[in-house]
Copies of this chain bind each other. A is one copy, B any other.
């Protein structure tokens, strides 16, 4: 990944502290850091660091100290607001801000009502003493903090620095992503937050996607046009063959962004496939525009392509379904792959990819069929067909397109990349543009 000409945009800066041993050790993937960074970006607030810490108060204290030292005006924490005595975020933040915590009795009653309703609905039982202690702990509020009403059972907090102190305001949010996201509008609206966000100026963000261009080549282009691109912060990221170019800029740099768009359209006409929408959005749009339906016949990807196509709301309008045909007998019986073809060419072959696509198409009565067969590994590879050998076919009203791939990586990587390649093959079949 690389970066090209940029100017520093004057704006508010914030830091994010994600707490939780389960996140630090990777048992749970952090979804809050990236989500918060994106929300802050939309508000024109620059994020320099996301720190992940475990459940040790001294580590949280160190992270808050670091953030304050970077000169941010706002720190957002996620997690550590649970009912157990070791969920310590609110108390540590109160201490760091010089605002000791006390029980908010009205809040305690509101949380009690929430917990009782929740347990009744789920039919759960718990020790009343344990529950009451948990609620009392969650109702501890640093003096002078703003309470954000619970979405789950934990309230959020806006904790400005104590009287006569400097440093950032700390916004304390719960760890479950649905609770954190549900609380965000109230957090942004809180008067104490508006003070911390003063000086932010909304940034624009645009994305261009290339398929099959090297980063180094693009870097050269950007350097050559450096003088025309002042005011743009351009980052590039290469992933599964897609070079994503994200540009952020203040409204005053819109003309420079127009110049960049012209340069890219001129020099990368053969690889530029999107000036915004993601690959998945383009595929969905392609089916909607044509009024076509699709069905899948998958072997090595085991249903991942069908799962990806149906991830989009409303996809039932154009996805009829698919067959995961892992066993050869399933390929024959559910997708009409001829036994002779399997015997002659083997299950991993261009011929079987075509038969899977055609079989899916006819069995589901779909306009378009997609076939995928390959060796995902780690076992099953041969000298002739090593792990990573994958054959794709898209069959539709206008004919068919096929690709043979040799993909590097683990079982999981081979499966995911196969699906991405199939999506590109679908996109180019539906919409034209750079082929897979």
What residues of chain A have their CB less than 8 Å away from a CB belonging to chain B? 1-4, 20-22, 24-30, 33-35, 37-38, 41, 47-56, 59, 62-63, 66, 69-70, 79-80, 82-87, 124, 126-127, 129-131, 134, 175, 178, 214-217, 219-220, 235, 237, 239, 244, 246, 295-296, 298, 301-307, 309-311, 313-316, 319-327, 329-330, 333-334, 363-365, 377-380, 408-413, 415
Shortest beta-carbon distance from A125 to chain B in Å: 9
Question: Cα distance A411–B410 when bound, in Å?
Answer: 28
| Contact across chains for A413 and B26 when beta carbons are under 8 A apart | no
The answer on a CB contact under 8 Å between A27 and B237 is yes
Return A126 CB to nearest CB of chain B, in Å.
5
Q: Which residues of B contact A41 (CB under 8 A)?
A: 25
**Chain A contact residues: over half helix, strand or loop, or mixed?**
mixed
A378 touches B313 (CB 8 A): yes
Which B residues lie within 8 Å of A408 (CB)? 178
- A28 CB to closest chain B CB (Å) equals 6
Chain B, residue nearest A21 (CB): B235
A330 partner, pick from B20, B52, B364, beta carbons under 8 A: B364
Complex-state Cα separation, A47 to B216, whole angstroms = 35
CB neighbours of A87 from chain B (8 A): 1-2
Docked-complex contact B321 and A311, CB < 8 angstroms: no
Inter-chain contact A25/B54, CB cutoff 8 Å = no
- The contact of A55 among B127, B235, B334, B365, by CB within 8 Å, is B235
A25-B38, A302-B319, A330-B321 given; A55·B178 CB < 8 A: no
B334 in contact with A323 (CB, 8 Å): yes
B29–A34 touching, CB < 8 Å:
yes
Is A244 within 8 A of B27, CB to CB?
yes
Q: Which residues of B contact A295 (CB under 8 A)?
A: 330
Contact call A28/B237, Cβ cutoff below 8 A: yes
Q: Are B377 and A313 in contact, with the CB atoms below 8 A?
A: yes
- Which of B3, B298, B313 interacts with A411 by CB under 8 Å? B313
CA gap between A25 and B329 in the complex, in Å: 46
The winner among A33, A304, A326, A327 for most chain B CB atoms within 10 A is A326
A325 neighbours in B (Cβ, 8 Å)? 321
